[in-house]
Amino acid sequence: MSWISWPFRLLALALWFVKEIVVSNVAVVWDNLTPGQNSTPGLARFVTRCRTDAEITLLASMITLTPGTLTVGTTIDDDDDERPGAKILFVHAMYSPDADHLREELLDMESRMLRAFRRRGDQS
């Protein structure tokens, strides 16, 4: 993708993110106001494709800003088999039935973020 569409991609990311914040707020508030708990909490390890500190900070902040998911910590895995030196997030989630489901959601958010944030839109 060319750099001409960069500002529009950032704007599209912002709009999508506003929608996402509202949807997840409604989910948390609904669970809170109805009696009983229907949350399925858990903590998953997520290998990101972020290269710079700015990208991983933005991704961690976006994960934390959507209520229900929360970044607990980051680390760098130098012994990873596929990608040595990959940046890793530990994410706590309330409404994902299992770790793989949560990782798929995070992968979607990460793809959108990288497509919008990188000027060329590359994702690897």
The verdict on 41 binding other proteins (CB under 8 A) reads: yes
Q: Find the binder of other proteins among 97, 104, 111, 120 (CB under 8 A).
A: 97
Residues of this chain, 101-120, that bind other proteins according to CB under 8 A:
none
- Within a 10 A sphere around the Cβ of 86, how many other Cβ atoms? 16
Q: Which stretch binds other proteins (CB under 8 A): 2-10, 24-32, 79-87, 116-124?
A: 24-32
The answer to whether 87 touches 74, Cβ cutoff 8 Å, is yes
Check: CB of residue 31 under 8 Å from CB of residue 93.
Answer: no
Among 1, 15, 22, 76, binds other proteins (CB under 8 A): 22
**According to the binding rule CB under 8 A, does residue 67 interact with other proteins?**
yes
DSSP 5: G
Determine if 4 is a binding residue for other proteins (CB under 8 A).
no
Asked if 99 touches other proteins (CB under 8 A), the answer is: yes
DSSP structure string for 11-72: HHHHHHHHHHHHHHHHHHHHHHHSSS---B-EEEEEE----SHHHHHHHHHHHHHSTTEEEE
Q: What is the binding site for other proteins (CB under 8 A)? A: 21-22, 25, 28-29, 32-33, 37, 39-45, 60-62, 64-65, 67-73, 90, 92, 94, 97-99
